[in-house]
Chains A and B, each alone.
Chain A
């Protein structure tokens, strides 16, 4: 049985740092655990730190893209951070995209990216105002 990857909650953000050579079952479990934690905590953002990963193959790449898609459905954004340069070069040659996952160089920049997303746009403000009136 593979070990679960810990998910930390910081404010409205979930932070995952993958520090092990990821087995397929561990990757799938992380995908499910994250979906669960987004709904139970109401998190708005997910940061996945992959600086510890020596490779990202198509299975891990698909897991990251799937987490991004699931989080989007659950009204949260996913940012993948810390990709090593050799991993980035390999991913491009492999022909893999991370789907809707956004990327940032490190956790700091990932957090900043999520914060800038949270700044209410005009549309969101109007929507919020409409919701308040409806109550």
Chain B
């Protein structure tokens, strides 16, 4: 990785339903600042919505940080979703299309990974979950 310099960092707590909407709005705002195209923005905001809901529903709440990042001439958005919930025992399984721990469609993690450029997840049983996504302007 070359130098990725965050210019602004914003943080939101995810404790309820309305916070998921706030995360979407925050990510959209930063995506516009980063001059992402409408389709790329829409993909990023959709991924953020899935991940924020995971933080709430599976992680029992947590927080999201959103940053405008630059690398050379291009700008992008980095978002990190973190919770201190039960964590994920089998990451490969959790990233499989259609696999769900209950109730959902099983597209939250696997689907959001397809919607962004960079996706990394860090989780272990009892250690919470941290998902980082990055998308760049063209």
- Which residue of A23, A57, A85, A95 contacts B114 across the interface (Cβ within 8 Å)? A95
Q: Are B49 and A55 in contact (CB under 8 A)?
A: yes
Chain A 1-42 per-residue mask, 1 if CB under 8 angstroms from chain B, else 0 = 010000000000000000001111100000000000000000
Given contacts A54-B24, A62-B104, 10 further A-B contacts (CB under 8 A): A23-B17, A24-B20, A57-B50, A58-B104, A85-B39, A93-B43, A94-B111, A95-B97, A95-B107, A95-B111
State the B residues within 8 Å of A (CB): 17-18, 20-21, 24-25, 28, 38-39, 41-43, 45-46, 49-50, 53, 97, 104-105, 107-108, 110-112, 114-115
Residues of chain A touching chain B, judged by Cβ–Cβ distance below 8 Å, are: 2, 21-25, 54-59, 61-62, 84-87, 89-90, 93-96
> Residues of B contacting A61 with CB < 8 Å?
105
- How many residue pairs, one in A and one in B, have C-beta atoms under 8 Å apart? 73
A56–B38 alpha-carbon span in the complex (Å): 14
Known: A58-B50, A90-B42, A94-B46. Is A21-B114 also a contact (CB below 8 A)? Answer: no
Q: Closest 6 CB pairs between A and B?
A: A86-B42, A94-B111, A57-B49, A86-B39, A58-B107, A55-B46
Contact residue among B24, B42, B107 (Cβ-Cβ distance under 8 Å from A96): B107
